[in-house]
Structure 1
Amino acid sequence: MTHHEKRTMVGMSELQAVFWDMDGTLVDTEPYWIESQHELVEAHGGTWSDEKAHLLVGQALDFSAKILQESGVRMGTEEIITHLIGEVIAKCSAEIPWRPGARELLSDLHAQGVRNALVTMSWKPLAEAIVSALPDGQMEFIVSGDMVSAGKPDPEAYNLAFDTMSQDHRERTGEDLVRERCVAIEDSVPGTAAAAASGMVTLAVPHYTPLPENGQCHLLQTLQGLGTEDLTQLLSKTPAGAAV
């Protein structure tokens, strides 16, 4: 093997970028969403349950609004979304519940020159509130649910994020961004389906809902203790349950 071939193989194994889900992955805001859903439904004389709330984890907010309307909330879709986002932002202003290991991993990735972006079905005001609490530059940009026409499990949000970073990456470095050298981190069934469908290496860290070992993603129980090297190793590993 020539020196050039060795360098090429090493380069293709290097992690270029990480695309982060937000709710349940970077931050544990799901209890804030659930509490706000309970309050809203009950204010309209309906009944809500944690079981119903868990069905909405990882879904687009317009889907969640439809379910809330079916449960008795007499408000328009955008009105429901704006109300819930406002409630969650208010709760986050008191305390942002970071997921274990998330900030430490993000910090290490940034220090090692790995680029990071946020891909969330929450709308931009909440995503900006979370990103503004991080050190400058760690999370380069946001793709939020109000920026796409189809929510997760559709891969549109991840494709948009990849295309956005890809263009900038080429201008900065002269090299292409490669989907197989990018990792998406998710916690839900819709999220992992969207990330896997985008062609990125997908890391699933389940939180509120169990995730199957279906060959679409690498399954870990926590981000705690993980660093850049751990995510880099995923690029050459086959997910559990994958057909070989």
Structure 2
Amino acid sequence: MPRAFADLTLPAAVLWDMDGTLIDTEPHWIGAETELVEAHGGVWTHQDGLSLVGNPMLASAARLQERGVDLSADAIVDFLNDRVAAAVAAGIPWQPGAQQVLADLRDAGVPMALVTSSFRMLAEPFATAAGMFDVVVSGDEVSQPKPDPEPYLTAARLLGVDIAECIAVEDSHAGITSALASGARTVAIEVLQPVAPQPGLSRIASLGELTLSAIGRVVRGEVLDLRRAG
């Protein structure tokens, strides 16, 4: 059952998406995609990049091949991960409010997992630098990546908690689909993709709205829409 902390109801765990949700890496991904396509004589627009947000890496590689990138899928994935990893290594581009909510949950003793479509080579250095996550589930370590529920179900299993007592926080359509299908109480933050209302889906405009109090309301079964708060 959810645990009480300072008169709040807290989840068994919080399961976090990485790119777009906790850190603002999507511009780096789009920049790397653009560089690669243009190097092979093609055109890649910002809208093209938005269409790949949250996609499995190999699915993104296939799209880039369709645009003329004459490399293997593995080579494309390595190129993109190398570019984004270098950018993150130069300084973690935290989303507003991310560090505060992570610290609040850590202080409350809530277990946390990083659940990302990015590969381990990018997820692990970020998780280590952040120092907040009990487990990491990366896109190259599951047989069915997002939008399949396997990544979130895997995170709950590794943490030893019931997925139905967890909160998942996502920003992409694929990630939201994955989290909802897993049975987690899902909170979506609008970053680059608009988030349409769905049954059971809470929506926020920034992580600054995701206070322990708001998290407790979601655990108790409320569906929040805080996008216009303040």
The match for 1:61 among 57, 76, 95 is: 57
**Other-structure match for 1:106:** 102
Say yes or no: does 1:164 pair with 2:148: no
- Offset of residue 240 of structure 1: 6.3
**Other-structure match for 2:138:** 144
Structure 2 unaligned spans of 5+: 226-230
Cα pair 2:22 2:95 within 8 Å, conserved: yes
- Offset of residue 97 of structure 1: 0.8
Q: Secondary structure at the match of 1:69?
A: helix
What TM-score comes out, normalization by structure 2 length? Answer: 0.91
What TM-score comes out, normalization by structure 1 length? Answer: 0.86
1:54-87, CA deviations, whole angstroms, 9 ceiling, x for partnerless residues?
0100110000000000001001111100110001
- Offset of residue 9 of structure 1: 8.7
- Offset of residue 225 of structure 1: 4.7
Sequence identity percentage: 39
**Other-structure match for 1:153:** 147
Say yes or no: does 1:37 pair with 2:33: yes
CA–CA separation in structure 2 for the residues paired with 1:222 and 1:237: 20
CA RMSD of aligned residues (A): 1.8
What are the equivalent positions in structure 2 for 1:145-224 lying under 5 Å apart? 145-166=139-160, 177-224=161-208
**Other-structure match for 1:95:** 91
**Partner letter of residue 108 of structure 1?**
D
Per mean C-alpha deviation after superposition, the further-off stretch among 92-101 and 221-230 is: 221-230
CA–CA separation in structure 2 for the residues paired with 1:162 and 1:10: 16
Q: Secondary structure at the match of 1:184?
A: strand
The match for 1:226 among 201, 210, 214 is: 210
Q: Secondary structure at the match of 1:132?
A: helix
CA–CA separation in structure 2 for the residues paired with 1:117 and 1:82: 24
The match for 1:77 among 63, 73, 76 is: 73
CA–CA separation in structure 2 for the residues paired with 1:164 and 1:103: 23
Structure 1 unaligned spans of 5+: 1-7, 167-176
Cα pair 1:213 1:240 within 8 Å, conserved: no
CA–CA separation in structure 2 for the residues paired with 1:143 and 1:14: 22
Which structure is higher in strand share? 2
- Offset of residue 229 of structure 1: 2.7
Size of the alignment, in residue pairs? 222
**Partner letter of residue 156 of structure 1?**
E
**Other-structure match for 1:4:** none
Cα pair 1:20 1:186 within 8 Å, conserved: yes
Per mean C-alpha deviation after superposition, the further-off stretch among 223-232 and 201-210 is: 223-232
**Partner letter of residue 181 of structure 2?**
A
Cα pair 2:171 2:191 within 8 Å, conserved: yes
**Other-structure match for 2:127:** 131
From the superposition, tell whether residues 49 and 9 of structure 1 become closer, same or farther in structure 2 (CA, over 3 Å): closer
**Partner letter of residue 145 of structure 1?**
G
Cα pair 1:19 1:182 within 8 Å, conserved: yes
CA–CA separation in structure 1 for the residues paired with 2:202 and 2:12: 18
- Offset of residue 16 of structure 1: 1.4
